[in-house]
Structure 1
Amino acid sequence: MAVTLRIDEINYPFPAKPKALSADREAFLKAEIKKLLKAQNAVLVAHYYTDPEIQALAEETNGCISDSLEMARFGRDADEQTLIVAGVKFMGETAKILSPEKRVLMPTLDATCSLDLGCPADKFTEFCDAHPDHTVVVYANTSAAVKARADWVVTSSIALEIVEHLDSLGEKIIWAPDRHLGNYIQKETGADMLMWQGECIVHDEFSSQALRDMKHLHPDAAILVHPESPASVVEMADAVGSTTQLITASQNLPHKKFIVATDRGIFYKMQQLAPNKTFLEAPTGGNGATCKSCAHCPWMAMNGLEAIYSALTGNHSEHEIHVDDALRVDAMKPLNRMLDFAAELKLKVKGNA
């Protein structure tokens, strides 16, 4: 049974788009950032949804391009003592939770996430307290305070397996915050899930009708969909999965053309790993002034070269992530449950191979 809770409509504080850089300025910033990373024993960790030049810079400096959890794990295991996290704020918090002894800087602390904003810790805690017989499962796209209230933290790559496990134990589940991902998991597992009603503004805007029209124009294209998208879009997919899973699908599927329903930042890695294939943005329901995200997170776009340079040269206190130690300890518990579960699952799969 799926039960839902809807919070009040949120007016998201969309940031201004960064100004385009001249070729000379871009070259200067890249060269200086490379020097500063070495001088400050720092490493650049970037999400798949950041702009191509940021992902390229992470590669060129032996950093990391990945999903949010792997970003934190890479930072934890890196020798460098300063992490520059190019992503959104919850990613910086997760990195700090896993690496409390390291300094975690972000290009801007104003880069947030609609899923995080749509799940305030105080309201979520009240909701959980009203349902004490439920196991609390939260998506990684949440604040440290929300993670600290959870029993489990999950990513989109392992959420199905964990919910399936909990359901096999007969547990009732509170799921937060993404309603589309929650509905997808509930449909796949049949689990008893009480759902918080948040959404990613990028994935929420993909339109099944527009996608049908695009598929008609490109009948030979496979459709790749992130499960944060509406159910009507997910139903049209040839492959559904996390960012990493979609990148793998783009390599392994025999198709030469793909319509991709996730943030277009992912195209950098897809094109790099499958250079002979063509990738098209899935259409959104709006366009121009009616489109909130137009298939690219406005907060991810804040992680420009100027902002990274500022994090390395400016007042570090304006860029540094802090997580209260008691809160960090509480948030680490559900994160560790997921990491342990993932490790056991990996061993099981390896044993069955």
Structure 2
Amino acid sequence: MQLWYNRRPKILPSKASNQRDDKNLTMLSKQDIDDRILVQEHFAQEHLPQQMGSAEIEQYKSRIRQLLKEKDACLVAHYYTDDLIQQLADETGGCVSDSLEMARFGSRHPASTLIVAGVRFMGETAKILNPEKRILMPTLEATCSLDIGCPADEFSAFCDQYPDHEVVVYANTSAAVKARADWVVTSSIALKVVEYLADQGKKIIWAPDKHLGEYVRKETGAEMILWDGSCIVHEEFKAKGILDLKRVYPDAAVLVHPESPDAVVQIADAVGSTSQLIKAAHDLPNETFIVATDRGIFYKMQQAAPGKRFLEAPTGGSGATCRSCAHCPWMAMNGLDNIVAALEHGVDEIHVDAELARRALKPLQRMLDFSAS
């Protein structure tokens, strides 16, 4: 897998737009959408899994191992989930990966039930790709600010204004938004897909992450209109804080996920998806890394590069709030206790409307076919 190391951007077309015109929102205003994100974020913070002692943790892990066998189930976890969940997925023959590999793995694995530890769009994607399988999640309340920030009706109306554009949406979106798209991408293949489209002279609508979209736009020179969404974790990384930390650790390499603001991307030694950043941690000769993405990734980074030191990139700067921590509150809702509940009682099962799934499958399958080629 190729890393997205910073490189000289191509010349941008003069007509490219990098902002959504909020006056075109005919249903929910930008403030309405932002308020929804804040409410859901508060809900997540109030419904985190219970803290456990070591003996209780082992009891839950033992019970999950038993239930996975009894239910013909497999645990699929994202890099941003708790270390204990990632460890358990590894130990039980499951998968710990990014969104793209999670999608691939679920389709390949013979288990009749997948329990997807992550956020809701990941469970929906698993169901769309595997309609015959039962898809459970530790909690259906685990969502994503990018998903909330791109309501399907508003996005569809936005797209209708640009009928000559290809619609490319990030995986961090609802099934309804995917159904409106021509392409779905993850951060690991976004550059290649947009480069492919730009080479054909296609104009692009990109949603929902404006920072990732701007990074892709600069790197490819594609003519893109960007939806105004962002990840509440990556949005908080500040270039000044990272540079201040770099003065303390001058030999540290800075690893940045492209959902981060442009000022942060510009000071990175390596820019890439979660899998690409883990590879950079292994490949680069540095012994210390400042990491600008969710701290859940440290579990796999430490496995890939034992003996190396990983530091959380500062968030929020001075006067930081409880929001300013490098961990997604919705990923944090996944716990051993609600994995047990899901497996024992079949609660928090993902269902996707059949017609919606049929339409969303087309851009998802296009993503998988493109990545395979």
Counterpart of 2:230 in structure 1 is: 199
Q: Which moved more, 1:13-22 or 1:147-156?
A: 13-22
**The residue matched to 1:237 in structure 2 has which SS?**
coil
Q: Does 1:23 align with 2:38?
A: no
Counterpart of 2:327 in structure 1 is: 296
Decide which of 241, 250, 267 is 1:210's aligned counterpart. Answer: 241
Counterpart of 2:282 in structure 1 is: 251
- Give how far 1:257 is off: 0.6
In structure 1, distance between residues paired with 2:243 and 2:136: 42
In structure 2, distance between residues paired with 1:291 and 1:251: 31
Per-residue deviation, residues 277-303 of structure 1 (Å, max 9, x unmatched): 100000001578614150000000111
1:1-353 alignment, distance < 5 Å: 1-5=16-20, 6=22, 8-9=30-31, 10-11=34-35, 12=37, 13-14=40-41, 15=44, 16=46, 17-286=48-317, 290-314=321-345, 316=346, 318-344=347-373
TM-score (norm: length of structure 1):
0.95
In structure 2, distance between residues paired with 1:299 and 1:3: 28
Query: Counterpart of 1:339 in structure 2: which amino acid?
Result: L
The CA RMSD over aligned residues, in Å, is: 1.2
In structure 2, distance between residues paired with 1:120 and 1:196: 11
Residues 2 and 186 in structure 1, CA contact (< 8 A), matched pair in contact too: no
Residues 284 and 291 in structure 1, CA contact (< 8 A), matched pair in contact too: no
After the TM superposition, list the runs of 4 or more consecutive aligned residues in structure 1 that deviate by more than 3 angstroms: 286-289
Taking every aligned residue pair, what percent have the same amino acid on both sides? Answer: 64
Per-residue deviation, residues 158-183 of structure 1 (Å, max 9, x unmatched): 11111111111111100000000000
Residues 279 and 304 in structure 2, CA contact (< 8 A), matched pair in contact too: no
Alpha-carbon spacing, 1:33–1:288, altered in 2? closer, same or farther (3 Å): farther
**Structure 1 gaps, min length 5:** 345-353
- Give how far 1:25 is off: 1.4
**Length, aligned pairs only:** 342
- Give how far 1:18 is off: 2.6
**The residue matched to 1:296 in structure 2 has which SS?**
coil
**The residue matched to 1:4 in structure 2 has which SS?**
coil
- Give how far 1:49 is off: 0.2
In structure 1, distance between residues paired with 2:18 and 2:312: 32
- Give how far 1:217 is off: 0.5
In structure 2, distance between residues paired with 1:289 and 1:83: 38
TM-score (norm: length of structure 2):
0.90
**The residue matched to 2:19 in structure 1 has which SS?**
strand
Residues 49 and 297 in structure 1, CA contact (< 8 A), matched pair in contact too: yes
Residues 121 and 175 in structure 2, CA contact (< 8 A), matched pair in contact too: yes
In structure 2, distance between residues paired with 1:143 and 1:168: 28
In structure 2, distance between residues paired with 1:208 and 1:169: 35
